[in-house]
């Protein structure tokens, strides 16, 4: 399996590539070739990462390609994990951040369409990931729209752990955890439709948990002085595993994908949904029911994504 990771020498990339090489993403019987992509100033650090991969002697690691050339980095890959992005700096408006990242993800989308394998699937991790995925997909139109995703699994994992602790059960008991909308403060972790031990659970004040999930990223930054890295890398693994294997009964994969109008979301937005996968294709899971507050949250996140789309209109291919 040929897998590209952009921003590979960054914190998330560093936490991710060793797990891919060890078999955590594709299982113990699938050799992998890692295509590690970085910007030219980071190539020395990337070289050190490659040395560490060599020193691990992973039996499943069939090769490593380290490069700053997108054509080489995406050549023949079946999975493209777009991790690298420009972080939001103090005083930077969200529109400015979107514009800066548009200059990164547009060329990456074009290179994926031109050089990746015919079965390529793309997961955008670099934030703002939903609209970055929209930009990349607009420049990679030769790759079908249903192959482009943005990561929501970190939010879903946070929500699963919080719900499990509140209910006094193991995390493995929590299923059907969806996170709707944008990977931002408007996201809607859907505790109302989740299951604990295959049964719905009535929370006394779900709004408190919703706000806890929305604010978790900021809390991590405040505590460790840097954004989530290992947990984000783990969520990348969970996303690819969830999309490449059949979804279990009464469960879903939390990921953002191009809306086809499901649940009233405007078409074309890269929107967080509960998906069901057969291992190669997916559909938005049906049967999720929302109260007035839930519908309001879904609409608010869609409206934010619409305004982001409008802000990057000139960057779309």
Rounded CA separation 127/236 (Å): 13
User: What tokens were used for 138?
Assistant: 């607009």
Does residue 192 contact residue 291 with C-beta atoms inside 8 Å?
Answer: yes
Q: Is 196 helix (H, G, I), strand (E, B) or coil?
A: strand
Q: Has 183 been annotated as catalytic?
A: yes
Residues 6+ apart with CB under 8 A from 271: 130, 180, 181, 182, 256, 257, 258, 259, 265, 301, 302, 305
CA 222 to chain centre: 22
Nearby residues of 118 by Cβ (< 8 Å), 6 or more positions away: none
Cα 154 from Cα 187, distance rounded (Å): 12
CA dist 230 and 228 (Å) reads 6
Report phi then psi at 173, rounded to 5.
-80, -15
- List 35, 115, 183, 290, catalytic entry: 183
- Cβ proximity of 92 and 134 under 8 Å: no
- Give exposure, 21-40, as e/b (b: 16+ Cβ within 10 Å): bebbbbeeeeebbbbbbbee
- Which residues are part of the catalytic machinery? 183
């Amino acid at each position: 399996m040929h897998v590209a990771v952009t921003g590979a020498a960054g914190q998330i990339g560093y936490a991710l590539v060793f797990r891919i090489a060890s078999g955590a993403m594709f299982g113990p019987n699938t050799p992998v070739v890692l295509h590690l992509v970085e910007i030219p100033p980071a190539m020395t650090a990337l070289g050190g990462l490659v040395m560490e991969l060599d020193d691990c002697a992973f039996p499943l690691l069939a090769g490593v390609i380290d490069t700053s050339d997108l054509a080489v980095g995406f050549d023949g890959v079946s999975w493209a994990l777009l991790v690298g992005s420009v972080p939001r700096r103090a005083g930077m408006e969200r529109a400015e951040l979107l514009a800066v990242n548009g200059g990164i993800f547009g060329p990456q989308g074009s290179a994926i369409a031109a050089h990746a394998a015919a079965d390529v699937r793309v997961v955008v991790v670099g934030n703002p990931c939903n609209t970055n995925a929209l930009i990349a997909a607009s420049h990679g139109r030769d790759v079908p729209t249903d192959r482009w995703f943005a990561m929501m699994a970190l939010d879903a994992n946070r929500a699963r752990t919080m719900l499990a602790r509140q209910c006094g059960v193991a995390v493995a008991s929590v299923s059907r955890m969806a996170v709707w909308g944008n990977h931002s403060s408007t996201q809607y972790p859907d505790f109302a439709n989740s299951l604990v031990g295959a049964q719905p659970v009535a929370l006394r004040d779900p709004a408190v948990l919703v706000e806890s999930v929305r604010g978790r990223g900021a809390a991590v930054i405040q505590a460790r002085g840097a954004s989530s890295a290992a947990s984000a890398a783990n969520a990348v693994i969970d996303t690819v595993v969830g999309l490449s294997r059949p979804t279990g009964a009464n469960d879903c994969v939390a990921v953002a994908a191009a809306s086809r109008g499901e649940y009233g979301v405007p078409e074309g937005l890269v929107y967080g949904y509960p998906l069901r996968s057969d291992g190669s294709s997916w559909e938005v899971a049906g049967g999720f029911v929302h109260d007035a507050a839930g519908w309001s949250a879904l609409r608010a996140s869609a409206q934010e994504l619409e305004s982001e789309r409008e802000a990057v209109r000139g960057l779309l291919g």
